Amino acid sequence: MSDRDLLIGGERVAGAGDPLAVENPFTTETIATVASASPEQLDAAVAAAREAFEAWSRTPALERAEMLHEVARRLRENGEELARTMTSEGGKPLVENRDEIEWCAACFDYYAEVGRDSAGRVIPPIESTQLAMVVKDPLGVVGCIVPWNYPLLLLTWKVAPALAAGCSVVAKPSEVTPLSTLELAGCFSHLPAGVVSIVAGAGETGAALSADERVDCIAFTGSVATGRKVALACAERLARANLEMGGKDPFIVCSDVAAAHDSGIEIAARGGAWAAFLNAGQVCTSAERFYVMKDVYDDYVSAFVAHTESLVLGDPFDEATDIGPMVSAPQRQKVVDQVEAAVAAGAEVLAGGGDGGPDRGHFFAPTVVTGAPAETDLLREETFGPVAPIVPVADLDEAIALANGTRFGLGANVYTRDLKNAIHCMRELRAGTVWINDPLTDNDAGPFGGFKQSGIGRELGREGLEAFQETKHVHMETEIEQKDWWYPYGPAGGESNR
């Protein structure tokens, strides 16, 4: 058995499909070759999930809860190793990957308890002799397809609630970062065979999983373009699709921040830089557009640039590193192209804009841009890199109009101490999460997902559990009696009922 084996029906098996080369984005060396699942192996994984669903969906919720807590315990026990593997294959700083493991464990603990807390609700019946209930049933087999930027967290946001709901899963990591997910198999070995299967593979494997009639729901995180394909495949066979896709999150800074606090602007700049550059900007909720009120704009830009220039690029294993390499050369090139196009259209680069120092790795220095025209991709399309374009605005209404002006609606950030501004933003921003004065903080109990093309459905919170439940209305009459609205309507058969 190897750490690179797939997990199918409770067995670790060597992949029999195409090889996937995994690159370390810091050294740019190939660190592993993983054999993906062959079509027959994917078929076996789905068949195992189908079979396992029967018993798992009937397992008492308390027993499922104990098994999910055990997943959390094993995650913490193996956390350092898993975090190091994520660092090698993804380039995210080790400190951030350690956080990611803890968030995964906490999420399994959360759904262990939420899953045994309620199975529906009792509703007022039509008559006093009746009992009426809304019962939440497990949905079935869930296919989980995830990207490379938070390989284990985004998988956990699907697998933990799906298992808690009584579903079985087939998980497919990104072809860019399969190693940590395959290593995760040990955290599931106490579960009945087939409840969790893990298949490595690229787009074809994801497409085959999405098209499989035996899969009741695809829970997907990734780009809008791929999400659309998944949605179409699911629509074709009328299966559920829960889609978490791209974003172009705005970050609004109100002038009252300066008045409220001596260092208010400095803090809003540091918060903005973290929101823009975390994981080299490769976060679906990265702050990608800054709208700053005119009277604090100059101070904000200066503070932002000064802080950006102090950030340390380097080896993601090095504890002094703030920002590691981007995940791959193509991902980096996309960012270079967007910045160059903005500069060609008149934008100015105030910090960063190049490799940033290290002599190897897919580095792009944290970059601050001003003067980008509103119609450039840098202000309209997802960048997914460490770039912060800053735009002055006259007032909050202009900021909100610009913030709402893209096809995305994942998250939005606001810095203000003014209650009226905060409430106005909360009401008007068309985004799945609105963060006020604390960018990008997730909460297992708070649903996460997007408006508009950023998503359909929600993860986390109770909504994240309901995504993997089917709803059944049970209407129960305790008397066996003729109802007076039945036939006959007329007097022909005797007394009219009406």
Catalytic residues: 244, 284
Of 47-55, 145-153, 162-170, 367-375, the segment contacting ligand NAD by CB under 6 A is 145-153
Residue 414 beta carbon to ligand NAD: minimum distance, rounded to whole angstroms: 20
Determine which residue in the list 56, 110, 111, 148 makes contact with ligand NAD, applying CB under 6 A: 148
C-beta closer to ligand NAD: residue 421 or 454 = 454
Residue 53 beta carbon to ligand NAD: minimum distance, rounded to whole angstroms: 21
C-beta closer to ligand NAD: residue 166 or 178 = 178
Residue 408 beta carbon to ligand NAD: minimum distance, rounded to whole angstroms: 9
* Measured distance CA(114)–CA(125) in Å, rounded: 26
Q: Which of residues 273-332 bind ligand NAD (CB under 6 A)?
A: 284
Assess 145 for contact with ligand NAD (CB under 6 A).
yes
For tokens 């963060």, the residue is 435
C-beta closer to ligand NAD: residue 225 or 492 = 225
Q: What are phi and psi of 241, to 5 degrees?
A: -135, 125
- Identify any residues that bridge with 349 across adjacent strands, giving them in sequence order: 369
Residue 60 beta carbon to ligand NAD: minimum distance, rounded to whole angstroms: 32
Determine which residue in the list 149, 255, 370, 421 makes contact with ligand NAD, applying CB under 6 A: 149
Decide if 197 contacts 169 (C-beta within 8 A).
yes
Show the site string, 376-405: x = touches ligand NAD by CB under 6 A, - = not.
------x-x---------------------
Q: Which of residues 417-476 bind ligand NAD (CB under 6 A)?
A: 450, 455
- Identify any residues that bridge with 412 across adjacent strands, giving them in sequence order: 434
Residue 126 beta carbon to ligand NAD: minimum distance, rounded to whole angstroms: 41
Q: Which of residues 193-252 bind ligand NAD (CB under 6 A)?
A: 202-203, 206-207, 210, 221-223, 226, 229-230, 244-247
Decide if 361 contacts 225 (C-beta within 8 A).
no
Could you tell me which of 294, 276, 87, 79 has the C-alpha nearest to residue 184?
79
C-beta closer to ligand NAD: residue 71 or 215 = 215
Determine which residue in the list 147, 151, 178, 389 makes contact with ligand NAD, applying CB under 6 A: 147
Residue 205 beta carbon to ligand NAD: minimum distance, rounded to whole angstroms: 7
* Measured distance CA(147)–CA(171) in Å, rounded: 11
Q: Which residue is nearest to ligand NAD (CB)?
A: 206
Burial 267-294 (b: 16+ CB within 10 A, else e): ebbbbbbebbbbbbbbbbbbbbbbbbbe
* Measured distance CA(282)–CA(285) in Å, rounded: 9
Assess 97 for contact with ligand NAD (CB under 6 A).
no
Decide if 150 contacts 48 (C-beta within 8 A).
no
C-beta closer to ligand NAD: residue 366 or 411 = 411
Show the site string, 152-181: x = touches ligand NAD by CB under 6 A, - = not.
--x-----------------x-xx------
DSSP string, 1-64: --TT-EEETTEEE---S-EEEEE-TTT--EEEEEEPPPHHHHHHHHHHHHHHHHHHTTS-HHHH
- CA Rg value for the chain: 25
Decide if 200 contacts 175 (C-beta within 8 A).
yes
- Using CB under 6 A as the binding criterion, the count of chain residues that bind ligand NAD stands at 30
Residue ranges binding ligand NAD (CB under 6 A): 145-149, 154, 172, 174-175, 202-203, 206-207, 210, 221-223, 226, 229-230, 244-247, 284, 382, 384, 410, 450, 455
